[in-house]
Amino acid sequence: MKALLFLAACLVPASAFADANKASTMHYMKAVLLEQRGNVVEALQEYQAAIALDPQSSFLVEQAVEAALEAGKQDVAITMAKRLIELDPQSHKARLLLGNVEWARGNVPGAQAAFEEALKLNPRFSEAMLSLGSLLSAQSPDKARTYLQDYLASNPENAGEAHFSLAMLEQKEGRLDDAIRHLRAAVEINPDAFQARFTLAQLYEAKKDTEAALGEYLAILSRDSENVALRNHIGEIYFMKGDVEAAAEQFRHAQAAAPDNPTACLWLAILAEQRGDFGAAVGELAKSAALKDEAALNLRLSYYLTQANRLKEAVAVLEAAHKKWPDNDDVAYFLALGYDDLKDQGKAEALFKSILKSRPDFRDARFQLGALYEKNDRLADAEREFRVLIDQRPNDASALNYLGYSLTDRGLKLPEAEHLVRRAVAIDPTNGAYRDSLGWSHFKQGRFVEARAELENSLRLLPSDATVWEHLGDALTALAEKGRAWEAYIQAEGFEPNERVKKKRAEVEAGIPADELGRRSLELAGAGLKGLSSFGGPCEVSVLVGNKPLAFPGLLRFNAPSELELDLLGPLFVPILRVRLAGEDGFEMDPVRLEGVPPEAVQDAVYRGLRLVREYLAGRLFGGRPAELKRTWRSESVRTPDGDFNFRDGRLVRSFESAAQPPIKLSVEYGGPPRRLPVLLRLEGKGFKLELLLSEPVARFDSEAAAAR
């Protein structure tokens, strides 16, 4: 409007100013130019200069009031507003301006009176209705609602602000659906009403309508694509929905606009952490502007560095953080742990002591100090710290067990050590480590039968723990159960190979016949598949026939006791070749032609190979007897009438080569504990090789067998 007034003034012929104050007009024109450039304070000064030359101009005073409000000069604004009313006592617009000034000054009663006076002068003055509705929404919501509804009735086409104010009233009184209705109306009238859209999105979130909230936020983003905070929030919503890729895209856009934005950097680091890519997590978090201000963020960065096997860098980050925040005990604690990991026990001990001097009740610091002493065979110091900790926290099961086991393992104060461990077990009877400590206490005191029972209890809770298996092997050896002891040591080696256990196994093995060792080897090898009811999943199938390599996606399915299917898949995962084994000898295979290879030779190789896989998964492959352990200086194997087994640590099958001619060799590779399921099945025979690679095999076990496992 002011630009139009300025233009009109410029276009008026010079003769028109013959009787006007030309100097006043020049000040006005200069004020308009200054306002257009954003220099409101100087514009106000020009308006005041113009008014001084033309004191009866209500138009100039009105412009000065608005400029004073915008410049934050409330004293000038109130003076000018009152002067405007003196110049034009019947002007409802002048009363509206006075009300706006009083509102800005925090004088709500004065503002209300001015707005109401404006309505008296012009009962259909919609701007006054809207102002009263907004002003009174806090202290007089019913009155406010009446004014706002009157405004809606008289100005339906320009009612966006009134709808917004009504929405705020409804929200305040808990009527969220009504608030949403008004906000939607406000947005419909003015799609660019950002405040209304933001509020609408927030209400949708409050009502758990994530999709609707996301729709509004995306609508805002389409109009404000550089809004970093909004992109971050949208990314968080996508993350909560489980759409990690969409979340990452929003965070990357936010980071592109603001490379050191703390929220975007943190979220991108968290996403990298979830992928297991700790190097990338370090890279993202290291960009954050908040690192210089937040100790907790430095702790997270050090954690990422540690997980990325960059321990020295992690400690360097913590050292810098400790220097910046010397009173932050968490930083000091994790720095002490870092020194311990770097084998710098002197610095670790000093830092733990420093923490405990200021915070004697810092449980973890005292526990780790005691553990540090114990690992360095300073048992008296360790015992002192753990006893202080137990005095402070009599029900700290972990501290009770640690001290009890440390004494037990060294054969010291055995009755008291047992009492400490029993207290830990009583607090947490399902903790396998505490059960192991109790079993070991029995063993150290010569109660081998009790030790065996307690260690077996521990293994039900910790079936993959090498230490418990070794302890059980020791107890069984003491009870002269050499065969079972040998099995226990085999299991311990499988989970954590070491020379001490290997030596124990060799000692008990010397007194066991070769056929018993062979039988026990096969029983151990088959135990991992005992009770397997189904197995399979998507796989990569690699075939080599002669010199012709082929590769297909595939699907492997085994159902106990005798059903095995393999599908080779083509485009759109449509089966192009199906092989099925069922019953004792049932075999079906789609026709296949390979140049230079007779079809019956292909079928025979596939049948014999997959039959071997089926017998392995069903556990029948391990039933061959007699089974004799054979050992050379390079390897050991078990020979049966059906073929020869070679083993990995823990008696996992490395390979089996059939005795039938021509021989077929099955090799197996495994996933991680505790199940150690087969992930690669390789078949090799005369003139062919077949590999089945399962990235994520799915196995189901009979409930009875699963309980036994």
The DSSP line for 217-271 is HHHHHHH-TT-HHHHHHHHHHHHHHT-HHHHHHHHHHHHHHSTT-HHHHHHHHHH
* 112 and 13 housed in the same domain: yes
Residue 460 covered by a domain? no
Query: What would the mean pLDDT of 251-279 be, rounded to a whole number?
Result: 97
* 631 and 666 housed in the same domain: yes
Query: How many Å is the Cα radius of gyration of the chain?
Result: 41
Listed ranges 159-163, 394-398, 544-548; the one with the highest mean pLDDT: 394-398
Apex CA 155: angle with CA 153 and CA 156, to 5°? 75
Q: pLDDT tens across 586-622, in order?
A: 999 999 887 778 888 889 999 999 999 999 999 999 9
pLDDT at 89 over 90: no
Q: Is residue 11 very low, low, confident or very high in pLDDT (cuts 50, 70, 90)? A: very low
pLDDT at 303 over 90: yes
Q: Does residue 296 contact residue 280 with C-beta atoms inside 8 Å? A: no
Residue 17: predicted pLDDT: 37
Q: Where among 364, 393, 422 does a domain terminate?
A: 393
What whole-number distance in Å separates Cα of residue 415 and Cα of residue 386? 17
Q: pLDDT tens across 681-705, in order?
A: 999 998 889 999 999 999 999 864 4
* 592 and 628 housed in the same domain: yes
Q: In 69-103, which positions are buried (b, 16+ CB within 10 angstroms) versus exposed (e)? A: bebebbebbbbbbebbbebeeebbbbbbbbbbbbb
Residue 485 covered by a domain? no
The first and second tokens of residue 148, run together, are: 């706002």
Residue 657 covered by a domain? yes
Q: Does residue 165 contact residue 129 with C-beta atoms inside 8 Å? A: no
Residue 269: predicted pLDDT: 98
* 275 and 193 housed in the same domain: no
Residue 89 covered by a domain? yes
Distance of CA 422 to the CA centre of its chain: 38
Q: pLDDT tens across 181-209, in order?
A: 878 888 888 899 888 899 999 998 998 99
Strand-pairing partners, residue 665, are: 657, 684
Residue 136: predicted pLDDT: 65
Tell me which amino acid residue 275 is.
R
The first and second tokens of residue 96, run together, are: 């509206």
CATH code assigned at 564: 2.50.20
* 295 and 343 housed in the same domain: no
What whole-number distance in Å separates Cα of residue 350 and Cα of residue 352? 6
The first and second tokens of residue 114, run together, are: 């001015």
Residue 703: predicted pLDDT: 64
| Total length of the chain | 709
Q: pLDDT tens across 344-392, in order?
A: 999 999 999 999 999 999 999 999 999 999 999 999 999 999 999 999 9
Residue 151: predicted pLDDT: 67
The first and second tokens of residue 234, run together, are: 């949208």
Q: What is the DSSP letter of 582?
A: E
Q: Is residue 431 very low, low, confident or very high in pLDDT (cuts 50, 70, 90)? A: very high
pLDDT at 530 over 70: yes
Q: Does residue 63 contact residue 51 with C-beta atoms inside 8 Å? A: no
Q: How many CB atoms lie within 10 A of CB 602?
A: 19
Q: Is residue 106 very low, low, confident or very high in pLDDT (cuts 50, 70, 90)? A: confident
* 286 and 361 housed in the same domain: no
* 87 vs 276, residue with greater confidence: 276
- Residue in the block written with tokens 């197995």: 535
Residue 152: predicted pLDDT: 67
Q: What is the DSSP letter of 412?
A: -
* 171 and 304 housed in the same domain: no
Q: Which domain holds residue 337?
A: 326-393
* 143 and 281 housed in the same domain: no
pLDDT at 166 over 60: yes
Query: What would the mean pLDDT of 515-540 be, rounded to a whole number?
Result: 94
The first and second tokens of residue 40, run together, are: 């409101």
CB-neighbour burial class of residue 582 (10 A; exposed 0-12, middle 13-18, buried 19+): middle
Q: Is residue 99 very low, low, confident or very high in pLDDT (cuts 50, 70, 90)? A: confident
The first and second tokens of residue 408, run together, are: 């037990």
CATH code assigned at 74: 1.25.40.10
* 207 and 168 housed in the same domain: yes
* 189 vs 169, residue with greater confidence: 189
What whole-number distance in Å separates Cα of residue 53 and Cα of residue 415? 105
Distance of CA 381 to the CA centre of its chain: 40
Q: Does residue 183 contact residue 201 with C-beta atoms inside 8 Å? A: no
Query: In the predicted model, what is the mean pLDDT of the chain?
Result: 89
Residue 139: predicted pLDDT: 73
pLDDT at 406 over 60: yes
Report the number of distinct structural domains present in the chain.
Answer: 4
Residue 116: predicted pLDDT: 73
* 266 and 386 housed in the same domain: no
Q: In 298-328, which positions are buried (b, 16+ CB within 10 angstroms) versus exposed (e)? A: bbbbbbbbbbbebeebbbebbbebbeeeeeb
pLDDT at 161 over 80: no
Strand-pairing partners, residue 553, are: 540
Residue 5: predicted pLDDT: 45
* 170 and 34 housed in the same domain: yes
Residue 70 covered by a domain? yes
Query: What would the mean pLDDT of 575-591 be, rounded to a whole number?
Result: 93
What whole-number distance in Å separates Cα of residue 174 and Cα of residue 195? 19
The closest alpha carbon to 430, from 468, 465, 462, belongs to 462
The closest alpha carbon to 71, from 52, 45, 95, belongs to 45
Tell me which amino acid residue 539 is.
C
What whole-number distance in Å separates Cα of residue 436 and Cα of residue 460? 11
Residue 435 covered by a domain? no
Q: How many CB atoms lie within 10 A of CB 120?
A: 11
Q: pLDDT tens across 618-669, in order?
A: 999 999 999 999 888 777 899 999 999 999 877 789 999 999 999 999 999 9
Residue 438 covered by a domain? no
* 236 and 269 housed in the same domain: no
What whole-number distance in Å separates Cα of residue 141 and Cα of residue 131? 13
Residue 645 covered by a domain? yes
